[in-house]
């Protein structure tokens, strides 16, 4: 049994943090599903920015969109949804087998709407309707401005992948928004289950503090925060409040470990995957990390609900002068800015492609 199969058998879902037309057309994604236990995937503007700019795979889509007079944004959503519908169909057996728990793909709303909760909610509903797949998540950032949109979107029955979470406090606020939405659905006589995951970003923690901590703490903060998030996950959904909701058919929002590719070339390329093995969670991995783990990864000791190990490690960072809450807020703010930058680059990439493929655009 290869390492990915062992991790899957532990109870952690392995998702791919990538999607391109080539992955679909070549059968590579299907092979990852069959051989590497991949049961879902996520997408983001950066992935599409690279794919559209480096290949001709999307030229026909851009040309067709130009002929219809579509904007760069509309063209992007058309081509991305074409890919994601195909991927969603590939994962449909997983989605059915797990009764809607696993087998999802994800599409992000425009980050330009991030400070407008009402517009984000409306766009999430629109995109999910356009996608026309039950196993399509809409990604909404878990920023203070995004939380009301998350609550309203889940209240409307749209599956949500909450992205851009870093600290434990941000994560707890996300679980609260999800729970309020489910409680409102129950009060309205609606189904108590709407699928959702909460994506806690890992590797960026170590990058931002790399030159501020002693050598024995290098590449350890992401693991500490991930373990703390798992403790909060177990604590929150074991509450009496959630026991009542479980009895009514609700299911916990799944914890997803995002950004688990190792950034430091001196560290193990499977550092975060091994260190954050945990049942009932998701790990979404860059393609090179997935392949590395399949080749030589080791399944680590499963995380536990005992808060002591994470607290002890975080205390060492505090002693080294790292204010984790402040760094978490900084990471979320920088992450939101990076999302906008990626989106702007993607729109520029499509506009440039329009000039290349459409005589009318010249």
User: Which residues are tagged catalytic?
Assistant: 139
Q: Distance (Å, rounded) from C-alpha 31 to C-alpha 102?
A: 18
Q: Distance (Å, rounded) from C-alpha 333 to C-alpha 327?
A: 10
E runs forming strands in 123-261: 136-141, 160-165, 196-201, 254-258
Q: Distance (Å, rounded) from C-alpha 234 to C-alpha 115?
A: 30
Strands 13-16 and 38-41: parallel
Strand, coil or helix: 14? strand
Q: Residue length, the chain?
A: 362
Gyration radius (Cα) of the chain, Å: 20
Structure tokens at 272: 């975060």
Q: Locate tokens 């688990």: which residue?
A: 260
Q: Distance (Å, rounded) from C-alpha 205 to C-alpha 199?
A: 14
End-to-end CA distance of the chain: 55
Q: Which residues contact 198 (CB under 8 A, 6 or more apart)?
A: 142, 162, 165, 171, 174, 175, 178, 253, 254, 255, 256
């Amino acid at each position: 049994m290869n390492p990915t199969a062992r991790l899957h058998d532990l109870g952690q879902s392995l998702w791919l943090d990538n999607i391109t037309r080539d992955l679909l057309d070549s059968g590579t994604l299907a092979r990852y599903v069959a051989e590497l236990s991949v049961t879902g995937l996520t997408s983001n503007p950066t992935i599409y920015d690279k794919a559209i700019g480096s290949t001709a795979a999307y030229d026909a889509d851009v040309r067709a969109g130009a002929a219809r007079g579509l904007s760069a944004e509309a063209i992007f959503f058309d081509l991305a949804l074409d890919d994601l519908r195909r991927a969603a169909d590939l994962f449909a057996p997983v989605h059915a087998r797990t009764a809607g728990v696993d087998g999802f793909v994800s599409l992000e709303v425009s980050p330009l709407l991030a400070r407008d909760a009402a517009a984000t909610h409306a766009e999430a509903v629109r995109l999910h309707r356009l996608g026309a797949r039950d196993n399509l998540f809409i990604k909404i950032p878990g920023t203070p401005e995004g939380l009301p949109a998350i609550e309203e979107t889940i209240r409307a029955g749209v599956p949500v992948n909450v992205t851009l979470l870093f600290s434990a406090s941000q994560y707890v606020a996300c679980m609260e928004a999800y729970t309020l939405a489910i409680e409102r659905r129950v009060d309205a006589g609606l189904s108590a289950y709407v699928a959702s995951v909460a994506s806690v970003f890992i590797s960026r923690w170590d990058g931002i503090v790399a030159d501020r901590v002693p050598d024995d703490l290098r590449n350890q903060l992401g693991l500490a925060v991930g373990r703390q998030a798992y403790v909060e996950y177990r604590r929150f959904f074991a509450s009496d409040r959630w026991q009542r909701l479980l009895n009514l058919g609700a299911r916990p929002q799944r914890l997803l470990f995002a950004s688990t590719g190792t950034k430091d070339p001196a560290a193990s390329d499977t550092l975060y995957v091994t260190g954050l093995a945990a049942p009932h969670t998701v790990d979404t991995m860059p393609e090179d990390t997935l392949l590395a783990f399949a080749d030589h990864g080791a399944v680590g000791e499963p995380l536990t609900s005992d808060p002591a190990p994470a607290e002890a490690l975080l205390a060492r960072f505090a002693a080294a002068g790292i204010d984790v809450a402040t760094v978490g807020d900084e990471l979320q703010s920088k992450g939101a800015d990076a999302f906008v930058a990626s989106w702007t680059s993607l729109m520029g990439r499509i506009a440039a492609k329009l000039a290349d493929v459409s005589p009318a655009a010249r």
